[in-house]
Structure 1
Amino acid sequence: MIKGFRQIVVLTVVSRVLGMIRDMVFAFFLGASGVMDGWVIAFMIPNLSRRLFGEGAASSSLIPVYSRELARDRRAADRLAMTAATVVFVLLAVIVIAGEALVWILYALSDHEATRLKLVLTGAMLPYMILVCTVAILGGILNTHRHFAAPAAAPVVLNVLLIVALCFGGWALKVPARTQVFLAAGAVLLTGFVQLVMHIPPLHSCGVHLRPAWDIRSDAFRRVLLLMGPMILGLAATQINTLADSFIALWLSGSPEKGHFFMLLGWRIDYPLWEGAVSQLFYAQRLYQFPLGVFGISLATAIFPVLSADAARNDLVSLRNTVSRGLRCSLFISIPATVGLVLISEPTVSLLFERGEFSSADSVGTTFALAFYVLGLSGYFAQQVLTRVFYALQESGVPARSAAVAVLVNVCLNLTLVWFLGCGGLAASTAICSYIQVGILMTVLRHRLGSGFLHGMGRAILQTIGATICMEVVLLTVMYALRYHGIALQLSLAIPAAAVAYLLASWLLHIEMLGLLLGGRRTKGVVARP
């Protein structure tokens, strides 16, 4: 588990750093403008499918069933894998064709230029769904064979091609922003083909050969389908909540085209947000999702095959121990990440984005939203681990029901808090709902496995908080000492110093997760009791 986690983290760090550079390029050329709002909304559907399938439902439903088939019959396992890939490809092709028709019908009915831009961009990028979801199935197969490199490296391609497209359009061709976003859409489509080709060599090395299959009547494939439906909602709760944040921000944002207010039942109501709010939420989401993507999803991806193997053997002792280590690892990373991001949110946003078309006012709005989003980091991390425990047990209904509750509460909170906190209210709703979902999952899991997986959790939390306090002191001290120097120098020295302080404090406090994550050794730690 730990070796795979470290491998995924290295590649994911590269991808996320490139992703941050990509977002800086977007901010430079498009800022937090109406055009950027259009790109964010249009990219949400294919990007949500990437996150759903690339980081969730398709591979998560396939891995436990595929693992069992591998243990019993390799040929049957290969048929299952290829059937899953073929069905996903065909199903998504049908959905995309229907989606394209709907997009162009809506385009013909719309007379707003901003809406038409969103629709054209959406139609241009919809075919990416077919490719990225097929790639996700292939990535799940590779993960089952403990090959994590190609799936983890796939997002690097998307970031590189988007950076090249934007810079080429802005600096070489000098085209306007409305044209640049279409170059970016073309880069997204090209990404899908490149990612698909990337997975073929490692699949061959694992003995898996790509060929169409349609064994949809097999019990194994039916089991995958039964698991996948609830998994889509269970794993996507955070993504659906951020999607709801963005759409509510779009609907409740005034603009030169829409005006400053709207009429409801004869009442004049001022918009709580203004054009660019969707973009500000997007940039804030990108920053809080950086540690979540690098560590949280990487940890969940690495731990899932181990959980599936434990569950397949019906080894509840090992399963409880794996869950315990996964949760303690998530807290070991998420607690200091939360504190650190809250403390340096303002200078970080300013350093990364405040140039070109991105103004100081945009920085203020993005920082405000980020401060609320990061408060939910521990919930986001724990949610990734806990949902996969249920999927390993092939009980996907529980995460789906908890996610449905979280999404419903999030929408209600969004429509309430946005009037008081603006973008911050939308972000706060998502953070609150992450803990609601974790609370539900923990309660049900205690009934399934007993409370043994929570044994030692209180001690681990206290140790982590102690190390985080040491990190916070060092971070604030360095930032204060360099207050008369540039933000770049402050952060480049303060962040490494704080990280070293945290690791040193963790070593002095004998935090078990430090040894596991850095050395892959099982130090003397807690054994989960039934």
Structure 2
Amino acid sequence: MEVLVNGGLYRSAHSASDGDPERSDGAILISVDGSPGTTAAGDQALPPEDVPPTGGGTEGGSTAGNSAIMAAGSMVSRLIGFVRNMLIGMTLGAGIGDAYTSAQFLPGQIYELLLGGILSSVLIPLLVRRRKDDPDGGQLFTQRLLTFAIVALGIATALVVAAAPWITAIQASNKSTEAYQDLVTAFAYLILPIIFFTGLSAMIGAVLNVRGHFAAPMWAPILNNLVVIATCGVFIVVFGTTKGFQPEDMTPGRIILIAGGTLLGMVAQAVGLLPALRRVGFAWRWKWAPRSLGLGEIGRLAGWMLCYVGANQLAVFVVVRKLNAVSGGNNASVLAFNNVYLLTMMAHGIIGVSVMTALLPKMSSAAADGRYADVSADLSRGIRLTTTALAPIAVAYGVLGVPIAVSLFQGGAFTDKDAFATGTVLTVAAFAVIPLSISYLCTYAFYALQGNKTVALINVPVVLVRIAGYVVLAELLSESFAAAGMTAANAISYLLSALISLVVLRRRIGRLNLGSVAKALLKVLVAALVATGAGLLVVFLLPGGDTPGRLTAALQVVVGGGVIVLVYLGTAALLRVHEVSQVVGMVRRKLGR
């Protein structure tokens, strides 16, 4: 499932074709909202965050230098993105924030269906080839492509905005009040134009990446976040918070300020990329020639990616609809679910992506040579490393769910009860962290084997199970636990994805060394259980108990988190979990980049 973090764009990804992290063809791929990208040959991009770029000649400098820029940008963007989400919650509260977040999901969903999958799977490799093969370095082709994209995005955005009442009426659910649906629609009118600027930003970022420039596309979302943060500040100064507000209390001025500021943030992100185009020597001219783009071939190549993206967006639509039905009454709903998902993806981005960044080039090279035993060895090593690294984070989320939620989100219109409800969702998300990353690892093993069709086919039943989980759990659980149930459905679907992928991979490449994996995972489980006990004891002894205030919650997070990590590492060392030293070294290298 995809969410909007930094204005809707998760930034740059690449794929490697051999043991060197730099591809010989210089292919750069943009990944949007977590959807993997593909080259024309079927090679898939790495996950969308913290991935070192390819060389691209001398234009962009060294891979190490570009990687440092991207890693720094990603880290700063994560921190500012959390400040943004925290301030949105404090400014709007849970009920109004649910309507805002529901409207903010829409441009990401629609953009993905319109352009996201095609951009990542077809257009980026096409730009790379034309840059290499055309006498003008692909200048004319890129101008024509950008012209067509602007027109197509403009028309599509206008149609979607005109259809906003019908779209939001379906998404907001017939169980929500009419005032709530009207508020989602009012937000949507101003937020849906983000589709155009998201597409424009992604296209400009692609042009820059293909020309070896990585700094601006990585740092531009930070400008977006800063604009939204400033908008929240102005809202609080002018109107105060919306604490205790009902949807009907939101005046047109309040709606225009917060939704218009959100749109302005995306505009700033797109406009902020324009100077970089001049720096790389690209002259933007209006060139209308759609027949020269080979649109029929583009459509055929993008088919499987659209299947993948479409299935995921259907799941997003269903979960937002289900959660909109329970908004209000201090229930964890869309805003809380999204905040918890961001925490889950943060853990995956820091740990899982690091492992995949290191392993995918090796697996791709081994697969190309037919050395499937090496692919299997790399995959099993990746699973062991990822599980070892993520286990203490999962324990922390499970034991310290409420203190973390209170520390990060409580304040202003986001009450203590809203934070406690969010903490319950985070506790459930602890069981999703590891399955999520393992499923990604398996998926990227398929990418190394050029199995993007297989990935799409596996994704369909997984998404159907996820949606069934949403529907069933929404009926079985009380409204106060609906968001926790949706998170549990995600965890189940991640686990199912990993299991199906392992079965298919075993048929594809033979033995997967699962015996050694199971032995290592058993040791990690024991260490995690010991750390869980220690963490629960510390929280019991510290002030605050189950309902901490913000200061006592921060104390529980710092002391409890420290104890969990130390006890976990100590127990793992006693059990001779060899991957611990590798994980510590990996994290140190990542932080030192």
Common fold: TM-score over 0.5: yes
Secondary structure class of the residue paired with 2:412:
coil
CA contact (8 A) 1:53 1:133 kept: no
- Counterpart position of 1:288: 344
- Counterpart position of 2:152: 91
The number of equivalent residue pairs is 499
* Structure 2 unmatched ranges of 5 or more: 1-20, 22-49, 53-66, 545-550
CA contact (8 A) 1:28 1:356 kept: yes
The amino acid across from 1:510 in the alignment is H
CA offsets 1:436-489 (integer angstroms, 9 cap, x no match): 223233333334444458685445535644664565466456545544682222
**Range that drifts further, 284-293 or 119-128:** 284-293
The amino acid across from 1:27 in the alignment is G
Change (3 A) 1:497 1:370: closer
2:393 to 337, 343, 349: 337
CA contact (8 A) 1:63 1:308 kept: no
CA contact (8 A) 1:19 1:159 kept: yes
Q: Which whole-Å CA distance do the structure 1 matches of 2:140 and 2:122 have between them? A: 16
- Counterpart position of 2:31: none
Alignment of 1:63-462 (within 5 A): 85-103=146-164, 112-140=178-206, 149-174=215-240, 178=250, 179-200=253-274, 225-234=299-308, 240-251=314-325, 253=326, 277-296=333-352, 302=357, 306=361, 310=365, 323=379, 326-391=382-447, 394-422=450-478, 423=482, 424-451=484-511, 457-458=517-518, 460-462=520-522
- Counterpart position of 1:524: none
Q: Which whole-Å CA distance do the structure 1 matches of 2:144 and 2:213 have between them? A: 20
Q: Tell me if 1:510 matches 2:592.
A: no
The Cα of 1:312 is off from its aligned counterpart by 10
The amino acid across from 1:518 in the alignment is R
RMSD: 4.4
Q: Which whole-Å CA distance do the structure 2 matches of 1:143 and 1:465 have between them? A: 41
Secondary structure class of the residue paired with 1:355:
coil
Q: Which whole-Å CA distance do the structure 2 matches of 1:54 and 1:488 have between them? A: 42
- Counterpart position of 2:90: 28
The Cα of 1:490 is off from its aligned counterpart by 2.5
- Counterpart position of 1:490: 556
Identity %: 23
The amino acid across from 1:25 in the alignment is L
Secondary structure class of the residue paired with 1:25:
helix
- Counterpart position of 2:44: none
The Cα of 1:299 is off from its aligned counterpart by 6.2
CA offsets 1:119-170 (integer angstroms, 9 cap, x no match): 1211211221122233334445666677654444343233222111011111
The Cα of 1:343 is off from its aligned counterpart by 0.9
Q: Which whole-Å CA distance do the structure 2 matches of 1:298 and 1:490 have between them? A: 28
Q: Which whole-Å CA distance do the structure 1 matches of 2:521 and 2:308 have between them? A: 26
Q: Which whole-Å CA distance do the structure 2 matches of 1:333 and 1:145 have between them? A: 35
Q: Which whole-Å CA distance do the structure 2 matches of 1:54 and 1:74 have between them? A: 28
Change (3 A) 1:504 1:254: closer
Change (3 A) 1:298 1:476: same
CA contact (8 A) 1:320 1:453 kept: yes
The Cα of 1:337 is off from its aligned counterpart by 2.1
Q: Which whole-Å CA distance do the structure 2 matches of 1:80 and 1:494 have between them? A: 56
CA contact (8 A) 1:227 1:395 kept: no
The amino acid across from 1:435 in the alignment is L
Q: Which whole-Å CA distance do the structure 2 matches of 1:506 and 1:107 have between them? A: 49
Secondary structure class of the residue paired with 1:350:
helix
Q: Which whole-Å CA distance do the structure 1 matches of 2:452 and 2:443 have between them? A: 8
CA contact (8 A) 1:39 1:121 kept: yes
Secondary structure class of the residue paired with 1:32:
helix
- Counterpart position of 1:45: 106
Q: Which whole-Å CA distance do the structure 1 matches of 2:155 and 2:513 have between them? A: 43
CA offsets 1:375-423 (integer angstroms, 9 cap, x no match): 1222322333444454565543322222221222222222222233231
Q: Tell me if 1:17 matches 2:85.
A: no
Q: Which whole-Å CA distance do the structure 2 matches of 1:466 and 1:366 have between them? A: 28
TM-score by length of 1: 0.76
Q: Which whole-Å CA distance do the structure 1 matches of 2:145 and 2:434 have between them? A: 33
TM-score by length of 2: 0.69
CA contact (8 A) 1:49 1:133 kept: no
The Cα of 1:342 is off from its aligned counterpart by 0.7
CA contact (8 A) 1:96 1:126 kept: yes
CA offsets 1:45-102 (integer angstroms, 9 cap, x no match): 1234578899976335555666677777796766776666555443332221111221
CA contact (8 A) 1:9 1:298 kept: no
Q: Which whole-Å CA distance do the structure 2 matches of 1:54 and 1:322 have between them? A: 33
